[in-house]
Amino acid sequence: MVTAPSAAPLEDRASKERLRLWLRILRATRMVESELRERLKSGFGTTLPRFDVLSALYRRPDGMGMSDLSRFLLVSNGNVTGIVDRLVADGLVLRGKRDGDRRASVVRLTDEGAAAFEAMAGAHEQWIDELLAGVGEADARQLSAMLKSFRSNWEAEP
């Protein structure tokens, strides 16, 4: 038994700390997401993925390609197809063709879709504000910056 007493390798300690952090992030995210899902359903009869798509499209009145959408939302191509299909069926989204490239489609909100999103956006922001109430503005700013750099490290890889 000659294991060093407090000599747990520094890197090992940091590793445990990161694992702990990850598990907590995961829990927090799931709690918030599940609350949002529930409120979106009971309040507006819609789902989180649908809201995400509407939200993405709202920022682009000119529309986005399916692939842009899937890249932006970080979900698979096939996934977006299904969600957009349902939104189209509900009249909230329009699938158009791009001139000069018959492969690509351009997806954009209908007026009804834009109105639907506007009706939800305020409530959504307010819910987030409420659910993250425990995080002060300074903390939010710091955390946000950290996550931004974290993301940058990420996207530089390919």
Partner DNA sequence: CCGGTATATTTCAAGCATGAAGTTTCAAGG
Partner DNA sequence: CCTTGAAACTTCATGCTTGAAATATACCGG
Residues binding DNA (CB under 7 A): 34, 37-38, 41, 47-50, 65-68, 74-86, 95, 98, 100-106
Q: Provide DSSP, 107-119.
A: EEE-HHHHHHHHH
Can you read off the two tokens belonging to residue 36?
Answer: 């949002």
Which of a copy of itself, DNA, none does 19 bind, CB closer than 5 to 8 A by kind? a copy of itself
Is 77 a binding residue for a copy of itself by CB under 8 A? The answer is no
- 3 state SS of 95: strand
Closest to DNA by CB, 9 vs 78, is 78
The answer to whether the CB of 68 falls within 8 A of the CB of 56 is no
Element (DSSP H or E) covering residue 102: strand 101-109
Site string for a copy of itself, 6-25 (x = CB under 8 A): ----x--xxxxxxxxxx-xx
Query: In the complex, what is the shortest distance from the CB of residue 61 to a copy of itself, in angstroms, rounded to a whole number?
Result: 20
Distance CA 14, CA 35 (A): 32
Query: In the complex, what is the shortest distance from the CB of residue 82 to DNA, in angstroms, rounded to a whole number?
Result: 4
Size of the site for a copy of itself (CB under 8 A): 46
Q: Provide DSSP, 27-90.
A: HHHHHHHHHHHHHHHHHHS--HHHHHHHHHHHT-TT-EEHHHHHHHHT--HHHHHHHHHHHHHT
- Of 8, 34, 101, 115, which one interacts with a copy of itself (CB under 8 A)? 34
Which of DNA, a copy of itself, none does 149 bind, CB closer than 5 to 8 A by kind? a copy of itself
Q: Which residues sit at the interface with a copy of itself, rule CB under 8 A?
A: 10, 13-22, 24-34, 74, 125-126, 128-129, 132-137, 139-141, 143-144, 146-151, 153-154
